[in-house]
A and B are shown apart, each in its own frame.
Chain A
């Protein structure tokens, strides 16, 4: 099975992506316009969202793994040394 060409992928996703960007912009506007916006601005979740947006705009990423990078940004850290109950 052959993946879509880049142009076809863009053709198919352009309007949807545009719409989602506007939704994000509107959500950020709503947060900043809200009562007691100062507390929200310092909320670590908002910081994560801004870091995620910055990740999307990086041009120094050579492989198409933005989704994975954003996923990891929003993930708890895994510690390889954790004690599994069935460790030998």
Chain B
């Protein structure tokens, strides 16, 4: 969900934030044309870096058509074809957040086509794993598809929104493992260790034989949607 209040950057700056990484995401509704994505990618690569800079914050972003809109394969292919125009902009980190939402065949097809684009240019990849009861199956499917693309280096991939039942699979495959903290229905701060979050995370990485880990908050308006 795109939600950007006029004072968001000011509050981030007051909290000591020096940089943000914004993945391309769903707009809260399914966009009707590739032109909508062109405007969105301009927002991510031109507008937001300038707004963030006014508060001393560096703005980075990831580009893709997200899994929620990947059911529309024709539109997705138009958008993927447009992405290379923007990949060399200075604040673009790579392809993301791609992934699965309901683990459908169309989502998997478009995920693989994003992987193809990323592999052809050796781009970093940020991956969204599904939520709730779709997560375990979707994460395993994503790891299968990554494994099938031999050009992708695991250390250039972050598989995000990991939870207790998916951490080990991600780390064992050599990818960065992201744990996203949400206010209520998903991985809450309490689940991640509350005030001792860092120690909990370190303990999990140790338990799973070490690995690449990241913890990040999801403060978006739809964070628990």
Interface string of B95-137 (1 = CB under 8 A from A): 0000000010100110010011000000000000000111111
Interface size for chain B: under 10, 10 to 19, 20 to 34, or 35 or more residues?
A: 20 to 34
Contacts of A1 in B (CB 8 A): 198-199, 202-203
Residue on A with the closest CB to B142? A84
Interface residues of B in 177-225 (CB under 8 A from A): 190-191, 194-196, 198-200, 202-203
User: Is residue B163 contacting chain A, with contact meaning CB distance below 8 A?
Assistant: yes
Would A72 and B165 count as touching, CB distance under 8 A? yes
User: Is residue A43 contacting chain B, with contact meaning CB distance below 8 A?
Assistant: no
Interface string of B9-20 (1 = CB under 8 A from A): 000000000000
Q: State how many angstroms separate the Cβ of B150 from the closest Cβ of chain A.
A: 9
Interface string of A77-88 (1 = CB under 8 A from B): 110101011111
Contacts of B164 in A (CB 8 A): 65, 67-68, 71
User: Is residue B149 contacting chain A, with contact meaning CB distance below 8 A?
Assistant: yes
- Which of B135, B145, B191, B195 makes the CB contact (< 8 A) with A84? B145
- Which of A12, A65, A77, A84 makes the CB contact (< 8 A) with B144? A84
Residue on A with the closest CB to B193? A4
Query: Considering the chains assembled together, what is the distance between the CA atoms of A71 and B187 in angstroms?
Result: 11
Contacts of A23 in B (CB 8 A): none
Q: State how many angstroms separate the Cβ of B72 from the closest Cβ of chain A.
A: 16
Query: Considering the chains assembled together, what is the distance between the CA atoms of A61 and B140 in angstroms?
Result: 25
Binding site for B on A (CB under 8 A): 1-4, 12-13, 16, 65, 67-68, 71-72, 74-78, 80, 82, 84-88
- A–B pairs, 21, beta carbons within 8 Å: A1-B203, A2-B199, A4-B196, A12-B195, A13-B194, A65-B164, A68-B165, A71-B165, A75-B133, A75-B135, A75-B136, A75-B137, A76-B134, A78-B137, A78-B140, A80-B140, A82-B141, A84-B148, A85-B108, A86-B116, A88-B148
Binding site for A on B (CB under 8 A): 103, 105, 108-109, 112, 115-116, 132-137, 140-141, 144-145, 148-149, 163-165, 190-191, 194-196, 198-200, 202-203
Known: A2-B199, A16-B190, A84-B145. 13 other contacts (CB 8 A): A1-B199, A1-B203, A3-B196, A12-B195, A13-B194, A67-B191, A72-B165, A74-B132, A76-B103, A78-B136, A78-B140, A84-B148, A85-B108
